[in-house]
Structure 1
C-alpha cells in the first residue's frame, strides 16, 4: 500500500516492469552457489510497498518507474538465509494487483527458475491510502464514511483481482509462493491519536481485517499460501507504546507513513515468513 500521493508519484508500473526485465537481461544477479552449499535457492520478490520495504531506510529507484525502501526488511533477511539468492526484486510502491501481474509477466524467466516467491498485494486496489487520507484528522467525516463504504463494496473485486494475479504467477512457476497479509494499522486502546480518532481507527481496522480475509480467500485454487501478520503486529500499530508502524507526525504526506518500520519488518514480517520457508524442501 502507499499514501495519497501514490498514483501521481508511483505510476507507470507497466513501463517499470519492462525496464526491470531489460535490466536483468543485461545483468541478472549471479545464481552460482557457494561451493560449501549443496544447492542454490532462487528467490523472487514481488508486490506493493509492503514488499518494497517502504518505511525502512530511504527511498530508492532500482529501475525507472519503481520505488523501494533500501533498509533492512523481511526480503533482505530471507535473501541472507543459507543458499538463498535474490534473483529479482520487482516490488514497487503503489502497485495494484493487476500491476503486480504485469511485473510478474516481465519476470517470466526468473519466475520459471524460482524456488521461492514472496509478495503482498491488494491494498492499492481499494485504494486504502486514499481512505486513510479521507479519514484522517485533516479529512472530512462525510467523505471518510463514503470511502469506508466504498472499500467494503470493492472487496469482492479485490479478491478477484488478487486471485487472477496469483493464478498467473502459479502458472509461471513451481516455486513456493507466500502471500503476505497486512497488519492492522492502528492500536486503539490508547484512545484518539494524531492521525485518526479511536472510533475511526477501529472502523479502518475492520476494513483491514476484511481485506486480509479476501486475500486469503483469493489463494484458493492456487498453490499460494497466505501468511498472516496480525499476531506479530498485535498492539504494535500506530499510537501503540511500542509501534512497529512508521508515522511521521510532522509530515502527513511522508510516503513512508502507515507502513511498517524496520522493527516491523524484522520482528513482524520476517518471522511470519520464515515459519513458512522450509529450506530443505527448496532448490
Structure 2
C-alpha cells in the first residue's frame, strides 16, 4: 500500500489478524486449467475473490473456506446463486473475511491457474482497509461527538489511500486473468427515512453513509486504466439499510462483536447483489 495501513476492519469480524492469514495450502489448481463443459455447452468458469462481503458473512453461519485461515458464510449468496446457474462453474471461492486490498493482491499468484482460465471474476475490496466497526461504534449512541468527529475525519483521510491500494490490486488482477472482472460496491449501512434509531441518530447515520459513498467512489475510480468494471449496489439497498422496516443489513444489538454485524443478510445477497451481477452477464 502507499502507506502503513492504520485503518482495519478486523474488529468487526471479532477474530484476530493471525487467524485471517491467508495460507493457501491444500489447493489443487490443476483442474482449473482444463476447459469445463456441461453437455457440450460452453460454461463460464467463475472465480470469486475478496473480503467478507464476497465471502458471504451475514448469511448462514461462519464456516471454513477452501484455504487455511479463511472464513466464509455458509448460507446462500450471490456467489452460490451464480454457481447454481446451468452455464456457470465456480472453480474456486477464495473470498475470505478480513481480507484487505493487500491481502487479495498477495493471494493472486497462488490463484494464478484459476485466474488464467476464468471468464468471470467477482470481488469486493477496500472496506477492510478502514475501521468500519470503530467508525460505527464511535458515531453510535455508545460513543461521543468528539470521538465520532475524529473517526469520520480519519476515515475521510484514509479513503484516497484505500483507492490507491485497490487500484494496485486490480491492476495485478487484470494482468492475471482474461476474464470479465466485476468489482462490487458496498451498500449504505443505514436507512435514515425513519429518523433516529436506538443505535444511532439519523444525522450520524447520514454522515457514515456519506463516507461509504466516498469509499465506493474511490473504488470505482480504482478500476480506471484496468478492464475491471465497478458495479454499484447502492440503489437496491437504499430502502433496506439498518433502520428500515425490512433491513438487508445484519446487526445483533445484543452482541456487538457478532462477526456478522454490518454485513448483508441472505436477502441482501440474493436481492441486492445477485441482480446487480446478473445484469452484467
User: 2:11 maps to which residue?
Assistant: 4
Q: Deviations over 1:216-240 (max 9, x none)?
A: 1000000000000011111110010
CA–CA distance in structure 2, aligned partners of residues 25 and 267 of structure 1: 32
- 1:88: Cα distance to partner? 1.0
Q: Which stretch shifts more, 193-202 or 89-98? A: 193-202
Structure 1 residue runs without a partner (length 5+): 278-283
* Structure-to-structure mapping, 1:248-263, within 5 angstroms: 248-263=252-267
Is 1:205 the equivalent of 2:212? no
1:131 to 125, 135, 138: 135
The 1:27–1:59 alpha-carbon spacing in structure 2 relative to 1, beyond 3 Å, is farther
* TM-score after normalising by structure 1: 0.90
Q: Deviations over 1:122-152 (max 9, x none)?
A: 0111222221222222233322211110111
* TM-score after normalising by structure 2: 0.91
Q: Deviations over 1:242-282 (max 9, x none)?
A: 111111122111110111100000000000010001xxxxx
Residue 27 of structure 2 aligns to a residue whose secondary structure is helix
Kindly indicate whether the alpha-carbon contact (under 8 Å) linking 1:236 and 1:242 is maintained by their aligned counterparts in 2. yes
CA–CA distance in structure 2, aligned partners of residues 85 and 257 of structure 1: 30
Kindly indicate whether the alpha-carbon contact (under 8 Å) linking 2:49 and 2:122 is maintained by their aligned counterparts in 1. yes
Kindly indicate whether the alpha-carbon contact (under 8 Å) linking 1:7 and 1:94 is maintained by their aligned counterparts in 2. no
2:75 to 71, 77, 102: 71
The 1:232–1:120 alpha-carbon spacing in structure 2 relative to 1, beyond 3 Å, is same
Kindly indicate whether the alpha-carbon contact (under 8 Å) linking 1:3 and 1:253 is maintained by their aligned counterparts in 2. no
Task: Give the count of matched residue pairs.
Answer: 273
Structure 2 residue runs without a partner (length 5+): 1-7
CA–CA distance in structure 1, aligned partners of residues 76 and 198 of structure 2: 27
Q: Which stretch shifts more, 136-145 or 41-50? A: 136-145
User: 2:170 maps to which residue?
Assistant: 166
Is 1:51 the equivalent of 2:51? no
CA–CA distance in structure 2, aligned partners of residues 221 and 26 of structure 1: 31
The 1:87–1:271 alpha-carbon spacing in structure 2 relative to 1, beyond 3 Å, is same
Is 1:239 the equivalent of 2:243? yes
User: 2:63 maps to which residue?
Assistant: 60
Query: What is the alpha-carbon root mean square deviation over aligned residues?
Result: 2.0
Is 1:181 the equivalent of 2:214? no
The 1:267–1:5 alpha-carbon spacing in structure 2 relative to 1, beyond 3 Å, is closer
The 1:133–1:256 alpha-carbon spacing in structure 2 relative to 1, beyond 3 Å, is same
Kindly indicate whether the alpha-carbon contact (under 8 Å) linking 2:57 and 2:263 is maintained by their aligned counterparts in 1. yes
Q: Which stretch shifts more, 2-11 or 214-223? A: 2-11
